[in-house]
Structure 1
Amino acid sequence: MKSYLHLFLMLFGATINAQNALYNSGNIQVHSNGQIGFHTNFINDTSFDQSEGLAGFYGNSQIAISGSIPPEFWDVELMNTAGLFLQNQVNVQNNTNFIDGDVVSPLNDSNVYLNFMDSGFFNGEQNAAKVTGFAAINNRDFFSFPVGDAAQLRPLIMNSQGSTALAVCAYLFENPYNPLSLGTSFNTTTKIPEIGTVNDKEFWIFESEIPASVTISWNQRSDLASIPNATFESIIVVGWSKTTNRWEIIGNEAQGGDINDGFITSTIFNPMEFSAITFGTVPLPTDTFAVNNPTLGNYFLSPNGDGTNDFLVIDNMNESPNNSLRIFNRFGQKVYEKINYVDEFNGLSNTGKFYLSQDIGLPEGIYYYFVTLDDLELEYTGFLFLDR
Structure 2
Amino acid sequence: MFLGDSCSCIEREREVGVGEKMVKLAAAVIVPLGVLFFLSGLVINLFQAIFFVLIRPLSKSTYRRINRVLAELLWLELVWIVDWWAGVKIQLYTDSETFKLMGKEHALVISNHKSDIDWLVGWVLAQRSGCLGSTLAVMKKSSKLLPVIGWSMWFSEYLFLERTWAKDESTLKSGLERLRDYPLPFWLALFVEGTRFTQAKLLAAQEYAASSGLPVPRNVLIPRTKGFVTAVSHMRSFVPAIYDVTVAIPKSSQAPTMTRLFKGQSSVVHVHLKRHLMKDLPETDDDVGQWCKDIFVAKDELLDKHKEQDTFGEQLLRDIGRPKKSLLVVVSWSCLLAFGVLKFLQWSSLLSSWKGLTLSAVALLVVTLMMQILIRFSQSERSTPGKVAPGKPKNGGDSSVSVQKQQ
TM-score, scaled relative to structure 2: 0.20
Q: Which structure's residues are more often helix, by fraction?
A: 2
Q: Which structure has the higher relative contact order (CA within 8 Å, separation 6+)?
A: 2
Q: Which structure's residues are more often strand, by fraction?
A: 1
Q: Larger Rg: 1 or 2?
A: 1
